[in-house]
Structure 1
Amino acid sequence: MDVPPDPDETAALLAALDLQIAWGADEALEEAPQDRTRPRAVLADPVSVPAAPAPRPVGPATRPAPAGGAVAAFAPAAARAGDLAAGADSLEALREAIAALDSPLKDTASKLVFADGVPESGLMLIGEAPGADEDRQGLPFVGVSGRLLDRMFESIGVRRAENAYLTNILPWRPPGNRTPTDAEINLFTPFVLRHIAIVRPRHLVFLGGTAAKALLRSREGITRLRGRWHSLDVPGLGPVPVLATLHPAYLLRQPSAKREAWADLRLLRRSLDRA
């Protein structure tokens, strides 16, 4: 006897399909994950495979010396960053304070990438750092990952031109789009916290592990931080609810993770509706 399809399940599947189309999905993934734990096939001629070199013992004489000079070099700039950030009482003043800070990133970047969107929206999104497209235009999230981000949030009724505000931890593009260093993140964190205090959002969304771990002061990765609400105590503002989610650049590399990102967006939408 055939069992009629569940209308609720059918509607959920159609909604998920519509979301994938809205996010720009253009290929189907495999039904089942590949088993990458199985050993690879052995080459027919084992002699042609070079033997792996024996690991070199690491003793006290071969350990790299701590980079104390690099840390010390950042100390004056970090102190000045705190003073500059604390003295900013508006978004324009904060932008000028960031531009006044001496940072090696300024020497390799083209433009300061400050923010985009509606500061009064109540929803603030914070990413990692500008990329090449952002560096050219001076705006955050305008490249390929930015277009995906726009489609993602538009699927829950959030648009940067209407009801969202976007920025990054770093205002300057790191050379070669590399991951920001801890010293660079610590240098610009006072500006980010002051940025939040000036904008006074009712909800914060951290895009990716770099922003989430830096501002939440957590050792956990983004896969453990996402999917639940956190609280960030912002000087001059107080606690603000925070949702961490996957960065759109990661979703471009791992399309199968869009399911988790969609769950985060639904969680955000429910909280926005209650507010």
Structure 2
Amino acid sequence: MQAGMREELLAALRLQLDWGVDEALEAAPLDRFAAPPPPPAELPRPAPRLAPALPLVAPPAAAASALAAAAQDLAALRAAIAETDSPLRDTATNLVFADGVAESGLMMIGEAPGADEDRLGRPFVGVSGQLLDRMMASIGLERSRNFYLTNILPWRPPGNRTPTDGEIALFLPFLLRHIALVRPRHVVLLGGTPAKALLRAKEGITRLRGRWHRLPTEEGSLPALPTLHPAYLLRSPAAKREAWSDLVLLRRTLDGEITPP
């Protein structure tokens, strides 16, 4: 090696020492002009892990529809409702199914049982039910002879709260089957909850009441008259005038003076 080149290499080593280089990273000098090594062979990807298959479970509303459709009489329908799993069943005391005369031709549908109904297992037996009996008596009708009563919900919601959309959807198939088995000629909808659910309407009860509507059923449709719930009339006595107007319309229809659309 020539003396000049040797001195240059030594100067380069001293410079690296001054910079803090105190060890070699490679055993041999790196040849930067050599061809790059071939890439490593690609390892096979592991097969994706499949989630364990879950059993197919029908949603509650679908199961309720199947149970309702299988009921061939009112006793079977009541038993099917009692078998349906619902949180309301766990907080209520009694199943509230119906009252009155199923063959009367007039079916009245309310919202849900209250505390008295839950205790006795019959619809409309509390203060609002007593008012309803007096209202119907004013046009010559009695529950023991002339009409039939039920609710959208068969169980009392905690604290008498308004039924949720999910609760209505769960029990609506049973109510529609109830109507099909009773085969009424006219239906009265007591309050906004049953009126909107059965008529598939967005309007409130004050806009729906006062005229006959068509209620879709398994076999076609039925004339349905929405009116104010007796519980609302107890809170708002001034609304009894509108309720009386609805009762007169019902009486005239039953007498054949008015033909519903």
Q: TM-score range with shorter-chain normalisation? A: 0.7 to 0.9
1:128 paired to 2:115: no
CA–CA separation in structure 1 for the residues paired with 2:231 and 2:77: 27
Structure 1 runs not aligned, ≥5 long: 1-73
Which residue is 2:234 aligned to? Answer: 252
Which residue is 2:86 aligned to? Answer: 103
CA–CA separation in structure 1 for the residues paired with 2:193 and 2:229: 9
| Counterpart pick for 1:221 among 204, 227, 236 | 204
- 1:88-167 equivalences under 5 Å are 88-167=71-150
Q: Scaled by the length of structure 2, what TM-score is found?
A: 0.76
| Counterpart pick for 1:83 among 66, 69, 81 | 66
CA–CA separation in structure 1 for the residues paired with 2:98 and 2:222: 19
Offset from partner CA, 1:107-134 (integer Å, 9 cap, x none): 0000000000000000000000000000
| Counterpart pick for 1:232 among 202, 208, 215 | 215
Larger radius of gyration: 2
CA–CA separation in structure 2 for the residues paired with 1:238 and 1:258: 32
CA–CA separation in structure 2 for the residues paired with 1:192 and 1:264: 23
The Cα of 1:173 is off from its aligned counterpart by: 0.1
CA–CA separation in structure 1 for the residues paired with 2:135 and 2:213: 21
CA–CA separation in structure 2 for the residues paired with 1:259 and 1:149: 14
Is contact 2:214–2:223 with CA below 8 Å preserved after alignment?
A: yes
The letter of the residue matching 1:210 is T
The Cα of 1:204 is off from its aligned counterpart by: 0.1
The Cα of 1:76 is off from its aligned counterpart by: 1.6
Offset from partner CA, 1:24-43 (integer Å, 9 cap, x none): xxxxxxxxxxxxxxxxxxxx
Number of equivalenced pairs: 201
The Cα of 1:75 is off from its aligned counterpart by: 6.9
Structure 2 runs not aligned, ≥5 long: 1-56
CA–CA separation in structure 2 for the residues paired with 1:233 and 1:189: 12
Which residue is 2:163 aligned to? Answer: 180
Is contact 2:213–2:225 with CA below 8 Å preserved after alignment?
A: yes
Identity %: 74
CA–CA separation in structure 1 for the residues paired with 2:84 and 2:66: 10
CA–CA separation in structure 2 for the residues paired with 1:193 and 1:265: 24
The Cα of 1:193 is off from its aligned counterpart by: 0.4
